[in-house]
Amino acid sequence: MLLKNKIALVTGASRGIGATIAKRFAAEGAIVAVNFLKNQKKANDIVQSIIDNNGQAFPVQADVRNPKAVHQMIATIQDNFNGLDIVVNNALNHYTFNPKTRQTAESIKWQNYQSQFDGSVQGAFNVCHEAIPMMSDQSSGRIINMASNLIAFPLIPYHDYITSKTALVGFTRSLAAEVGALGIQVNAIAPGLTYPTDSSVETQNDVRESIIRMTPTKRLTIPDDVAGSAIFLASNLSNNITGQCLYVDGGLVMR
């Protein structure tokens, strides 16, 4: 087991990519805190699924945009496990990938940008701000921030989402440069259009087919692809890798 007895927090883990990462982490031996915002039933279902498969997990509610809520969440983990080994910053403000309903450059407001910054960047900042002292005390830790391949290939200009995810990668690299000497590795994963998820369900078939035609592997990314990459970055297989952004999109972006 690659993550045996590691304590992991996955934010936004009640559905989609976050839920799949939580399940895969638990299957690799981690004890997983399944963070959720509102839907406790879905979080409980993920936890129960993990337990039914002989894994260990527990739900923890917190709005990652709220520093006090994050402080309480991390304090709960510390009180119960006296440590935190892995953080996956997956939570974001809800976003729908629909080219027909997206905000154009002329119609978008700063509030749209701010909303996405609050979910992706501020959320990650709040969690890291609380987690880093614990990881520093144990001289080890892995932080994984969820970005998007749209930052390198804005096939459809979802302006607010792409800008916030680009900033998140900047945050990832800046943080990695400082905390590497503390034994903490910070990386990002940039998935392509990941299907099926709640966010991608409104992406029209013609758009999906167009992406598939351009993708060397001739398929869309699925949540399990992203989870496998998260296991790699969370485990000793990625020792001495930090400040990187790993594109998981079938080769649509090659760096």
| pLDDT score recorded for residue 98 | 86
Q: Given the DSSP bridges, would you call strands 7-10 and 184-191 parallel, antiparallel or unpaired? A: unpaired
- Cβ atoms of 83 and 90 within 8 Å: the answer is no
Q: Which of these is catalytic: 95, 161, 195, 247?
A: 161
Q: Hey, what are 225's tokens?
A: 């692809």
In the residue annotation, 113 being an active-site residue is answered as no
Domain 7-248 falls in which CATH fold? Rossmann fold (3.40.50)
Q: What is the pLDDT of residue 203?
A: 77
Q: Tokens in use for 85?
A: 């080994």
The half-sphere exposure of 30 on its side-chain side, counting CA atoms within 13 A, is 30
Q: Residue 179 and residue 230: Cα distance in Å, rounded?
A: 19
Domain ranges of the chain: 7-248
Place of tokens 């969370």: 234
| Residue recorded with tokens 């790699």 | 232
Spatial strand order of the sheet with 31-36 comes to 56-61, 31-36, 7-10, 86-89, 141-146, 184-191, 245-248
Q: What is the pLDDT along the chain (255 residues), one digit of tens a residue?
A: 999 999 999 999 999 999 999 999 999 999 999 999 999 999 999 999 999 999 999 999 999 999 999 999 999 999 999 999 999 999 998 888 888 889 999 999 999 999 999 999 999 999 999 999 999 999 999 999 999 999 999 999 999 999 999 999 999 999 999 999 999 999 999 999 998 877 667 677 888 899 999 999 999 999 999 999 999 999 999 999 999 999 999 999 998
Beta-bridge partners for 10: 34, 88
H or E stretch including 56?
strand 56-61
SS3 content of the chain, % helix, strand, coil (to 5): 45, 15, 35
**Angle, to 10 degrees, between the axis of helix 159-179 and the axis of helix 123-137?**
20
CA-CA distance, 227 to 75, in Å (whole number)? Answer: 26
Residue 202's φ and ψ, nearest 5 degrees, are -90, 0
Mark residue 29 as left, alpha or beta (left: phi above 0; alpha: psi -120 to 50; beta: remaining): left
**Residue 104: DSSP 8-state:** P
Is the backbone peptide bond immediately before 154 cis, with ω within 30 degrees of 0? no
Q: Which of 2, 74, 67 lies closest to 35, judged by CA? A: 74
Residue 88 CA to residue 145 CA, distance in Å, equals 6
